[in-house]
Structure formats: C-alpha cells, structure tokens
C-alpha cells in the first residue's frame, strides 16, 4: 500500500459484544447483538495509529467511538499487536476451536442424541468452562474433568500448535492470504 504523508492512518477493530457482559437487566436486543455497533450492546474496541500524532489518535478514537457506539473500553495497540489478535487469535485459533465444538455437537446428534438436549448441555457446560478457565467462576474443575481435559489435550492438539500459528511468519502469511487471495 502506498503511504501518503499528508494523511492520518488510524486502524480500529471492534471487539464485538462480550460473551460475559456482566450487566444487570441486559435487554434481549443486546443479548442478540452479535456484532455490535447498532446501539444495542456495549463493546470494547482496539485501535492503532499507523501514521499521525497523539492528537490525531484522540480525534480518530473519538470518531471510532461514535461509529461503533456504544463503546465501553478502547485499547490503544500497535498494528503488530492488532494482527496477533486478528487474524492469529480469533480467525486462526478461536474460530477453528469453535468450529470443532460445532462438529462435535453434530456428531452427538448423528449418534442419536436429540439436538435440543445436545445444545442445552453444551451451552450450559461452555458457560461453566469459560467461567473456570478464564477465572470468572472462582472455582476449579472437578478432578475427573481435569483428567479428561488433560487426556483430550494430547489427542486434539499438536505440539507447538500455538507457536505454529502465532509466529510472525505465519501471521504475515495469514494477513497476505486474507488481503490478496480472497480478492482474486
């Protein structure tokens, strides 16, 4: 991309409404606001100033807050930090993990478990699992759950899987693929 010296380059990306908003009386519209920016659910955003001053950053951040409102928190990052978050973290790691959950749900249904029962069971357990693993819940897994978790990690995940996705070469390739390959 050609960089013009007379322009400010500000990069912003919404974090999207959280799985755990921790808000009293959250409206149904806010609960169903998947992307944010429509005024229903609060969300955070990440921002970076590629070219410009601190004053430019403040001006651009204020504009971004209006564009994606309602914004709760805004995090100032570098461009390099932003590409660790996306595509590496959310598109190359968390999306495949969630896709794997969906595939496992479908496998349960194929084995004869009623879909409504599978969905109720997995969604409830996901809440507990996210709560425990991200330190929201304030309690640990049971010994049996910890053993099953440990055993499954060795089956599901390859050695060095995080580094294989989050190293700079892999991130740069992913960014290049996204920005060049899909536009062909």
pLDDT (tens digit per residue) in 143-173: 999 999 999 999 999 999 999 999 999 999 9
Fold that domain 9-77 belongs to in CATH: Rossmann fold (3.40.50)
List the domain boundaries for the chain: 9-77, 83-181
Containing 12, the helix (H) or strand (E) segment is strand 9-14
Report the sign of the C-alpha dihedral through residues 131, 133, 137, 142, in that order. positive
Nearby residues of 137 by Cβ (< 8 Å), 6 or more positions away = 128, 131
Res 38: pLDDT = 87
Instruction: Report CA 57 to chain centroid distance, whole Å.
Output: 24
- Let me know: does 70 contact 38? Beta carbons within 8 Å: no
Given a cut of 70, is residue 184 above it in pLDDT?
no
DSSP 137: S
Question: Residue 83's closest CA among 183, 176, 182?
Answer: 176
Where does the pLDDT of residue 39 fall: very low under 50, low under 70, confident under 90, or very high at 90 and above?
Answer: confident
Looking at every residue in the chain, the average pLDDT score rounds to 96
Of 42, 15, 41, whose CA–CA distance to 29 is shortest?
41
Q: How confident is the model at residue 37 (pLDDT cuts 50, 70, 90)?
A: confident
* For residue 182, pLDDT beyond 80: no
Q: Is the dihedral of CA 54, 55, 61, 67 positive or negative?
A: negative
Which whole number is the average pLDDT over 37-43?
91
């Amino acid at each position: 991309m050609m960089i013009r010296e007379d322009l400010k380059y500000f990069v912003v990306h919404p974090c999207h409404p959280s799985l755990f908003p921790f808000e009293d009386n959250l409206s149904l519209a806010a609960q169903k606001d998947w992307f944010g920016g429509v005024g229903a659910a609060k969300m955070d955003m990440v921002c970076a100033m590629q070219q410009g001053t601190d004053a430019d950053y403040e001006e651009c951040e204020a504009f971004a807050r209006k564009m994606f409102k309602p914004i709760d928190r805004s995090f100032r990052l570098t461009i390099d930090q932003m590409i660790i978050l996306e595509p590496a973290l959310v598109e190359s790691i968390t999306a495949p993990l969630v896709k794997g959950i969906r595939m496992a749900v479908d496998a349960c249904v194929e084995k004869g478990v009623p879909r409504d029962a599978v969905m109720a069971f997995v969604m409830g357990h996901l809440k507990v699992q996210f709560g425990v693993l991200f330190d929201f819940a304030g309690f640990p897994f049971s010994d049996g759950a910890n053993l099953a978790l440990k055993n499954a990690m060795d089956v599901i995940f390859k050695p060095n899987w995080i580094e294989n996705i989050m190293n700079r070469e892999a991130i740069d390739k992913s960014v290049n693929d996204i920005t060049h390959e899909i536009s062909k």
